[in-house]
Amino acid sequence: MCLAIPGKILTINALDDTFRTGKVSFGGIQKEVNLCMVPEVQVGDYVLVHVGVAIGKVDEEEAQKVFNYLKDMGEVEELQTPPDGK
């Protein structure tokens, strides 16, 4: 649970500085992600996401390699948890 997982930004909803969120796709799994710590990113960019918050930007090639590696290691299963935890 300590690693950041790269994903691609599909949409951005900017409400204000702390509520800047977006939909991010992680190899097809979509999650709502907070984007306030990476103000420079745009739709189509790749970000490193840790427990629902983007903490840095990565380039596409790096993002894909890292994602595949994490998938092989079984480190992306946490993305499957439903939002109400049930």
Partner 1 sequence: MKYLTEYRDPELVEEFIKEIHRITTKPWTLMEICGGQTHSLVKNGILDMLPDKITMVHGPGCPVCVTSVSVIDEAIYLAEQPNTIMCSFGDMLRVPGSKKSLLEAKAEGADVRILYSPLEAVQLAKQNPDKQVVFFAVGFETTAPANALSVVHADQMGLDNYSILASHVLVPPAMEAILSDEENLIDAFLAAGHVCTIMGIDEYHPVAEKYACPIVVTGFEPVDLLQGILMAVQQLEKGEYKVDNQYARSVQREGNRLAQDTIQKVFAVSDRVWRGIGNIPQSGYEVNDRYKNYNARIKFNIDLPLAEENKECISGDIMKGLKKPKQCPNFGTKCKPEHPLGAPMVSSEGACAAYYHYAAQE
Distances in Å between the alpha carbon of 62 and those of 7, 21, 82?
Answer: 11, 23, 27
- Residues found near partner 1 in the complex (CB under 8 A): 1-4, 18-19, 31-32, 34, 36-39, 48, 50-53, 55-56, 58, 62, 65-66, 69, 73-75, 78-79, 81, 83-86
Helix ranges (H only) for the chain are: 60-72
State which residue, 43 or 65, has the beta carbon closest to partner 1: 65
Number of other CB atoms surrounding residue 42 within 10 Å? 9
Q: Write down the least CB distance from residue 73 to partner 1, Å.
A: 7
State which residue, 32 or 43, has the beta carbon closest to partner 1: 32
Q: Write down the least CB distance from residue 51 to partner 1, Å.
A: 5
Residue type, 3: L
Residue type, 56: G
